[in-house]
Amino acid sequence: MNNILEIKKLTFGYSKELLLFENFSLSLKKGEIKAIVGASGAGKSTLFELILKNLIPLSGEIQNSLVSQVYQDPYSSFHPSYTLLNQIQDVASVKQLDKYLQQINLEYDLLLKLPHELSGGQLQRASIIRALLMQPELLLLDEPTSALDNVIQLEVMSSLIKNLETMGMLLITHDLELAKWCADEIIII
């Protein structure tokens, strides 16, 4: 099975004197969930920015397949003036929309609203649906369940796990118990 994410000997820091990563390596295959756990400021979100090529490493190599991301703050990932459905249709086919609405337990009518008309948890679930509809091979999850209560958190993670036959997931979380519950491997940074 081929890797959908391959990080080899990554070195990065915002200054050469203070490195966040030095010779960091990681690989991920379809069907796997790996969790990145660490304190605030340890470089978890920076790693995602490097994978997305929004930052350039000092050295090393990052190769990845088609990627989609779920951000920690769902309000910053949607434009405030357009309905959620319009924004989803701008980036993805909605052929499987009903499937994901059922999986993530979200009502279709909520997608016809503006982002500020939804709760943080509803908006985060819409963000997850958008990411899944983009049909990525690699799904980056940055604290995807932090806006959800514990019961919904488990429902959403269970739903995400159902999609592992088509993708692999890299999860950033500070919740070590969540990481232990769902991840094949936990990487502490």
Q: Evaluate whether 6 touches 62 at the Cβ level (below 8 Å).
A: yes
C-alpha separations of 103 from 8, 46, 96, 97, 107 in Å: 35, 30, 11, 10, 11
Rounded mean pLDDT, 70-95: 93
pLDDT of residue 42: 87
pLDDT of residue 1: 52
Report the percentage of the chain scoring pLDDT > 70: 99
Name the pTM for this structure.
0.91
Rounded mean pLDDT, 35-61: 93
Which pLDDT band holds residue 88 (cuts at 50, 70, 90)? very high
Rounded mean pLDDT, 100-112: 94
pLDDT of residue 110: 97
pLDDT of residue 150: 79
- Report pLDDT digits (tens) over 147-156: 677 777 888 8
Q: Determine how β-strand 33-37 pairs with β-strand 59-64.
A: unpaired
Mean pLDDT of the chain: 92
Report the percentage of the chain scoring pLDDT > 90: 72
Residue 107: pLDDT over 90 = yes
pLDDT of residue 72: 86
Question: From CA 52, how far away is CA 174, in angstroms rounded?
Answer: 21
Domains of the chain are 3-188 (3.40.50.300)
